[in-house]
Structure 1
């Protein structure tokens, strides 16, 4: 049940993180970042494309103005030059000609008439209008009201052209990324790229559409001429035809069937598919740039007008766009910044942007971002996948998997972009991946610190992380207290219990001990079976270390008394504390180190702990630990040479807190001190009598019983000692070989 609940929580957290990440990535800020960096990166990776074959630009540059000896402002040129240009271009049978030049100002009537005659005679020229914004101030608060209006070419030219359309360019803070197919702010009129596409489509497929139109809308069919050239306004006719073929679902189905089954040429079928794609598209499309400046076939104007003849195939059946380059009237025409402008190629002229948009429409190659709901699903699924990998895999393997999956995703995004002009989220996925990896790395590091803190002090872990190559030499010389512990009856329990049950018992046992050490600022250095080693250490001597160690010993004793109230298992525990110098640092070699204390203090503390077995006590401390401390009850036990040692050490029993003994213990402590003084004075018989007498009243006092038995056994030998200037020293290594007294809880 717990496992199922944990899995459910993990799944829910993964889903919530995925949804949150996807939602954030679809905000306006992230979408703008994706446009500026993600889309631009895909263009840069892809590089330039082959120029579209059906588009040619006639550019009006500074050289053309100088060669033709005309004004630098092309709008001021005599319009007879534009009439001459139209006539010259039509000698090479272009499909359409579109001027991205404004002819809204009235010029010489004769010149306008000549230009209008050229337009009307060829019936394949579109002119550009422009959108102007006006402001009105309304009383009484004088709020400013803005509106837009189309400024058309002069009437004689507008009537002669087959269509007129504006070409507004949506520009972000940095680059031109999109173009409009229609401008809703002025009544939804088609823009110049869309108008050119509509006229080109209608001209190329007019004969193919008539049979379908005859079937779907006979009324409109009967009003149409037999050929495209006979249409007075092709753009208006196209809009009527589109309305007739797309006004309901049935008509769209029939249009789809017609496009699939049409026996037209591949070029015409491609145009029809592009048209069908546009019907359900947004009115703002992303430009698919072919490259930087000059990526589309471009001919300077003076090459056309000044040349006797041109290559016959250069303009045949092509769409010819005429417009300014960026080097003419630079103070008015700075061009636009595109995704390729940063490569040192300069800004792109409006006519090149228009040509790019028209080519995109004809080829249906405009960049198509994933629909919002698909983006949400992709980003959510990606976030869930990454979080899921971190949840089920080790950290290092997770990073490797995520790097591999990220490379696969980037490769897929690039393939889809260059093959299908489909734009998958790129930067948002990278940011999402980076954020999740950063979050999981911080979480991993936090977990690593939490786990390491159970084995190493945080400062030690941090130092070793910073200098892993110096681990074998890491260590500091310290002054402090070492506490050794040992549990009675552990050997018997380990023989009778299975390892799992014993492990559970010992974890509970240490759960009672460790908090006392931590609460008193101690460090648990080592745990082996039933033994614990705890340290209180600083680089310089500090009385507080000894105070904390004594408090910890008393807390441990109290906690274990409560622990041992269990009727199942008891682990009576002995503690030994010693004060001195130690080296605290890493001990080990090659690929295994442990952080522990090294020095005589460790061995001595262990021997003092072991002395509890002989004396029948719980907490023994050396004189160095208790000397000079107030606030603790203790009694001196005597001078001992511990097993394996050569120097004597004064041992005290730590009994509790407070400067005054418990009234129940006061008589015992007073009588024991007097008897021990007799022992120290080498008055063996008197000392023996005193301890025997004390044992009658306190038969359970271990140190008293120890001295009774010790004096009974070694009194003859002690009588032979003549040195009364030194305190008598008890060598534990000798007496334990034949010692008959052991406390009841000893192993």
Structure 2
């Protein structure tokens, strides 16, 4: 799979499938990702309308009720009266009044009837395996041990059966409350952290939960529902009918335009999922909590217009297991959160119209994240790709944290950062390894076809291929017309003197890997590596194709060496490159008992001489003039006629500047100005040449060829050559 976009897509699909599978099996994103977002975000202010009245340890001692919840009923009547005097908007009891208490129920019922704003909780009981397992709050389970269904006769149900039912308050109280509805939290030891809560219990005949019912009454009392068709029955009954209507596909009632927003929020609660992820405000006691006994004694003020939730909530020590739950914020220091606090949290979320939600399905985020990382890893190979993907992941994590803090929007972080990102890195490294093996295999195939004797000099990878130990006799040499690329390290002797031989071996080993990659990527062949010089050839390709491939390889080598020099700590290895085209011989040279295979001929020597001219001109890539002819994608400039060492015939040289789209206007202007100065120089117009090169250097900045010709023109002003042909003769390599 060579195309980078196909590789990116494969990385995206594999990491998506793996991440989704792990999340499905382990719940990793919820258990780790969501909880981490809560902890990073920290606490946030809850709505001031919500108050919890805690039946805490202080109240137990003050009222003398102990741990027995049934003994509190005698105090509820006065508590309601006190809250009514304070102007509380609604009073919500997170308690089950199932068993009758004749001594206290009349006063309690009278207080509720007079207040007209009291809601209480239905008990939800779950039965499993006949009569063997009952789940629910203590009073509900202990007082109602009859099986939900039974077989004919006396045989008990022993097969696996799960069912739910609700148990309403005793009739002596139920007839005087504003409304009643269930509130159910799973207290499962295997999954003890509460992260979401039901808004409707669809398994219980589409029954709305108490926070939803309370929310609707609150909106009704403050006039928000004015102009919206309201229910003639209690909300706990009417909402069930509305949900059944919605689930069946029938349209809900409309509202006046000014109420569209609140109607939409109500319809979303009624018609969408039956549960919501809670946006917790913080650890236990983040909501405003007042002690039951303080409210009872009239010591608490500022309850006007508040929605008061009354329930069991210890505040001084870690509570026991019953009706206390783990949340993303709880720990050993904070203790668990009371059920009444979770009920109040859900009501507060409804009031703010803010739950924890994902803007899009999490699977889509997995796919998009995998695609982004895949594109980076395929566009930037190796370490740059890993760094780029790591930076992208940091930006994504920051966005997820900001988005969650701002609106409760939940973008997955655990699966993308802990599963998808490392797997994508591994796949990228494996792809790079496969590319390297594929390149080596291609080189080996070429050598086997053209020069089987070179087979022992080609690096192989164990298990990928086996070189033939015996090959049929073939010619030991071959005359070809091709292109030659020669490189040399500037200042190599100085660098070598500063390091041990082993350090230089390690440095050159890495250097030549960097240098050879562009050659092989553009169908070239490494013909020879000697000390600080490398020779590469292009043969058996169309001329234009060979020229373009060699130019591209040279430009990429220049960029790769710059990156290598920036990254290495051992020593910099500036590299000069020369390109020449012509006849050469590829063959074997016998030296004693050994043999060496390489490219031989004047073309090879000339390419080496051309790269040496770079040190005079301050350039990086030079080529003979015919080399870069008719290559529209390559920008070059003529740098003059040179008589190289060992050659009588002058040679026109070009500097390979870059690819057309990458060369800016400034560079293009420099090339044009340089051409004018060079023309004056070659015509022997020394004064004109000096002026042109001085203007160029002052306006365009330092330029090696311009500096070289300026110095020559200044010298020729004082001592003109006797016979001038426009040719520069170099005395050294």
TM-score (norm 1): 0.56
Query: Which residue of the partner structure matches residue 122 of structure 2?
Result: 129
Query: Which residue of the partner structure matches residue 300 of structure 2?
Result: 310
| Equivalences for residues 316-395 of structure 1 within 5 A | 316-326=304-314, 330-331=319-320, 333=322, 335-342=324-331, 344-372=333-361, 375-395=362-382
Larger deviation: 394-403 or 346-355? 394-403
Query: Which residue of the partner structure matches residue 229 of structure 1?
Result: none
**C-alpha contact (below 8 Å) 1:64/1:302 kept by paired residues:** yes
Secondary structure of the residue aligned to 1:321 is strand
Query: Which residue of the partner structure matches residue 285 of structure 1?
Result: 276
Q: Is it true that 1:513 corresponds to 2:507 in the alignment?
A: no
Pick the aligned partner of 1:606 from 581, 585, 591: 591
Secondary structure of the residue aligned to 2:95 is strand
**C-alpha contact (below 8 Å) 1:274/1:363 kept by paired residues:** no
Secondary structure of the residue aligned to 2:354 is coil
**C-alpha contact (below 8 Å) 2:91/2:119 kept by paired residues:** yes
Query: Which residue of the partner structure matches residue 162 of structure 1?
Result: 178
Change (3 A) 1:525 1:588: farther
Query: Which residue of the partner structure matches residue 109 of structure 2?
Result: 116
Query: Which residue of the partner structure matches residue 184 of structure 1?
Result: 202
**C-alpha contact (below 8 Å) 2:118/2:179 kept by paired residues:** yes
**C-alpha contact (below 8 Å) 1:96/1:200 kept by paired residues:** yes
Pick the aligned partner of 1:19 from 13, 22, 25: 13
Pick the aligned partner of 2:167 from 127, 151, 154: 151
Shift, 1:408, TM fit: 1.5
- In the alignment, the residues of structure 2 paired with residue 244 and residue 399 of structure 1 have an alpha-carbon distance, to the nearest angstrom, of 53
- In the alignment, the residues of structure 1 paired with residue 178 and residue 92 of structure 2 have an alpha-carbon distance, to the nearest angstrom, of 10
Change (3 A) 1:450 1:74: same
Shift, 1:257, TM fit: 3.2
- In the alignment, the residues of structure 2 paired with residue 568 and residue 88 of structure 1 have an alpha-carbon distance, to the nearest angstrom, of 106
Shift, 1:171, TM fit: 5.3
- In the alignment, the residues of structure 2 paired with residue 610 and residue 188 of structure 1 have an alpha-carbon distance, to the nearest angstrom, of 89
Query: Which residue of the partner structure matches residue 259 of structure 1?
Result: 259
- In the alignment, the residues of structure 2 paired with residue 102 and residue 436 of structure 1 have an alpha-carbon distance, to the nearest angstrom, of 53
- In the alignment, the residues of structure 1 paired with residue 92 and residue 156 of structure 2 have an alpha-carbon distance, to the nearest angstrom, of 46
Which structure is larger by alpha-carbon Rg, 1 or 2? 1
Pick the aligned partner of 1:34 from 26, 29, 36: 29
Aligned length: 471
**C-alpha contact (below 8 Å) 1:338/1:347 kept by paired residues:** yes
**C-alpha contact (below 8 Å) 1:120/1:160 kept by paired residues:** yes
Change (3 A) 1:85 1:559: farther
Secondary structure of the residue aligned to 1:149 is strand
- In the alignment, the residues of structure 2 paired with residue 274 and residue 55 of structure 1 have an alpha-carbon distance, to the nearest angstrom, of 20
Pick the aligned partner of 1:433 from 415, 421, 446: 421
**C-alpha contact (below 8 Å) 1:73/1:329 kept by paired residues:** no
Change (3 A) 1:60 1:105: same
Secondary structure of the residue aligned to 2:255 is helix
| Equivalences for residues 458-607 of structure 1 within 5 A | 508-510=449-451, 512-515=452-455, 517=456, 555=470, 558-560=472-474, 588=504, 591-593=507-509, 606-607=591-592
- In the alignment, the residues of structure 1 paired with residue 118 and residue 9 of structure 2 have an alpha-carbon distance, to the nearest angstrom, of 57
- In the alignment, the residues of structure 2 paired with residue 32 and residue 256 of structure 1 have an alpha-carbon distance, to the nearest angstrom, of 43
Q: Is it true that 1:410 corresponds to 2:397 in the alignment?
A: yes
- In the alignment, the residues of structure 2 paired with residue 387 and residue 304 of structure 1 have an alpha-carbon distance, to the nearest angstrom, of 60
Q: For structure 2, which runs of at least 5 residues remain unmatched after alignment? A: 131-149, 461-466, 482-500, 514-528, 532-588, 597-733
- In the alignment, the residues of structure 1 paired with residue 63 and residue 243 of structure 2 have an alpha-carbon distance, to the nearest angstrom, of 43
Change (3 A) 1:277 1:144: closer
- In the alignment, the residues of structure 1 paired with residue 427 and residue 446 of structure 2 have an alpha-carbon distance, to the nearest angstrom, of 37
Shift, 1:295, TM fit: 0.4
Query: Which residue of the partner structure matches residue 222 of structure 2?
Result: 204
TM-score (norm 2): 0.57
- In the alignment, the residues of structure 2 paired with residue 198 and residue 120 of structure 1 have an alpha-carbon distance, to the nearest angstrom, of 20
**C-alpha contact (below 8 Å) 1:82/1:115 kept by paired residues:** yes
- In the alignment, the residues of structure 2 paired with residue 198 and residue 113 of structure 1 have an alpha-carbon distance, to the nearest angstrom, of 28
Change (3 A) 1:95 1:246: farther
- In the alignment, the residues of structure 2 paired with residue 6 and residue 160 of structure 1 have an alpha-carbon distance, to the nearest angstrom, of 76
| Equivalences for residues 433-452 of structure 1 within 5 A | 433-444=421-432
- In the alignment, the residues of structure 2 paired with residue 106 and residue 187 of structure 1 have an alpha-carbon distance, to the nearest angstrom, of 26
**C-alpha contact (below 8 Å) 2:200/2:207 kept by paired residues:** yes
Structure whose residues are more often helix by fraction: 1
Change (3 A) 1:200 1:452: same
Secondary structure of the residue aligned to 2:123 is strand
Pick the aligned partner of 1:65 from 53, 57, 60: 60
Query: Which residue of the partner structure matches residue 95 of structure 1?
Result: 89
**C-alpha contact (below 8 Å) 1:124/1:161 kept by paired residues:** yes
Secondary structure of the residue aligned to 2:592 is helix
**C-alpha contact (below 8 Å) 2:49/2:306 kept by paired residues:** yes
**C-alpha contact (below 8 Å) 2:206/2:240 kept by paired residues:** no
Pick the aligned partner of 1:44 from 35, 39, 46: 39
- In the alignment, the residues of structure 1 paired with residue 226 and residue 282 of structure 2 have an alpha-carbon distance, to the nearest angstrom, of 34
Change (3 A) 1:397 1:343: farther
Shift, 1:298, TM fit: 0.1
Secondary structure of the residue aligned to 1:91 is helix
**C-alpha contact (below 8 Å) 1:129/1:151 kept by paired residues:** yes
Query: Which residue of the partner structure matches residue 690 of structure 1?
Result: none
Pick the aligned partner of 1:53 from 13, 38, 48: 48
Secondary structure of the residue aligned to 1:56 is strand
Secondary structure of the residue aligned to 2:222 is helix
Shift, 1:14, TM fit: 3.4
Change (3 A) 1:148 1:48: same
- In the alignment, the residues of structure 2 paired with residue 392 and residue 444 of structure 1 have an alpha-carbon distance, to the nearest angstrom, of 12
- In the alignment, the residues of structure 1 paired with residue 245 and residue 193 of structure 2 have an alpha-carbon distance, to the nearest angstrom, of 38
Change (3 A) 1:310 1:597: closer
**C-alpha contact (below 8 Å) 1:288/1:366 kept by paired residues:** yes
- In the alignment, the residues of structure 2 paired with residue 403 and residue 568 of structure 1 have an alpha-carbon distance, to the nearest angstrom, of 48
Secondary structure of the residue aligned to 1:105 is coil
- In the alignment, the residues of structure 2 paired with residue 316 and residue 175 of structure 1 have an alpha-carbon distance, to the nearest angstrom, of 34
- In the alignment, the residues of structure 2 paired with residue 358 and residue 52 of structure 1 have an alpha-carbon distance, to the nearest angstrom, of 10
- In the alignment, the residues of structure 1 paired with residue 366 and residue 322 of structure 2 have an alpha-carbon distance, to the nearest angstrom, of 41
**C-alpha contact (below 8 Å) 1:125/1:163 kept by paired residues:** yes
Secondary structure of the residue aligned to 2:111 is helix
Q: CA deviation digits over 1:244-297, x for unaligned, max 9?
A: 999978756x4383424xxxxxxxx6x555324324431110010000011000
Q: CA deviation digits over 1:610-641, x for unaligned, max 9?
A: 89xxxxxxxxxxxxxxxxxxxxxxxxxxxxxx
Shift, 1:146, TM fit: 3.4
Secondary structure of the residue aligned to 1:403 is helix
Shift, 1:182, TM fit: 1.3
CA RMSD of aligned residues (A): 4.2
- In the alignment, the residues of structure 1 paired with residue 243 and residue 429 of structure 2 have an alpha-carbon distance, to the nearest angstrom, of 57
Shift, 1:605, TM fit: 7.8
